[in-house]
Amino acid sequence: MKLWITAASIFFVPIFISAQTPAKTCDDVKAEIAKKLDAKGVIGYTLTVVDKGTATQGKVIGSCGGGKKDIVYERATPTPAPAPDPKPAPEKKQK
């Protein structure tokens, strides 16, 4: 009997403890990822939470919501400088 109780406590107690720990929200996971990226000096990015498997752009770098949501990383595209107004080409003089 003692062997059974010992075996049950070794195998089942960790399962009950992990089941009772509150899961992190998607906002918490997203904030942790943003903190890591900022610490590495990454700038100009967006993190978006989408349903699992629906990311069309960017790279999936995490998951949340019990694996039902993905966190997508996208680099911000720099806005191009406005093009200068084209000047008309000088006309050639005819002789």
Among 67, 37, 66, 63, which residue's Cα sits nearest to residue 48? 63
pLDDT of residue 69: 92
State yes or no: pLDDT of 5 exceeds 60: yes
Alpha helices in the chain (DSSP H): 2-20, 26-39
The two three-digit tokens of residue 48, written as one number:
């978006």
The Cα 50–Cα 26 span in angstroms is 10
Number of helices (H), then strands (E), in the chain: 2, 3
Average pLDDT over residues 55-73: 90
- Residue located via tokens 């200068």: 84
Average pLDDT over residues 14-34: 75
pLDDT of residue 36: 94
Distances from the Cα of 24 to the Cα of 31, 37, 55, 69, angstroms: 11, 19, 21, 12
Average pLDDT over residues 24-33: 91
Domain residue extents for the chain: 23-77
What proportion of the chain, given as a percentage, has pLDDT over 70?
57
Average pLDDT, the chain: 78
pLDDT in tens, 65-77: 888 999 999 988 7
